[in-house]
Amino acid sequence: MDRHTISVLTNDHPGVLQRIANLFSRRGYNIESITVGGCEIEDLSRMTIIAAGNRQMRDQLILQLSKLIDVIQVIPLDLAPKLSLN
């Protein structure tokens, strides 16, 4: 299984993180890592989520996340260059 990194821009309201985590849970996908914090735009938060799965799973999650009311933007970061620590 591949690891996929997804950036999610959301409204900064109570319960948004729970709704996103529930989406993963309902689909049976595991969140390996999640980081949430404020972003450069007032009243918005950015989530960076790492999940294991195939490309079809990633595409399905992106579609489902995009349908949530408080989600503004979903960006897959898989195409970013890999960091080498050699």
What are 37-63's pLDDT values in tens digits? 999 999 999 999 999 989 899 999 999
Angle at 37 between CA 21 and CA 58, to 5 degrees: 40
Asked if 57 and 65 touch (Cβ cutoff 8 Å), the reply is no
Asked if 6 and 77 touch (Cβ cutoff 8 Å), the reply is yes
Kindly indicate the confidence band of residue 71, based on its pLDDT and cuts at 50, 70 and 90: very high
Tokens of 78: 């898989």
Q: pTM here?
A: 0.85
Q: What is the CATH number of domain 2-76?
A: 3.30.70.260
The helix (run of H) or strand (run of E) holding residue 8 is strand 2-11
- Chain position carrying tokens 């399905």: 60
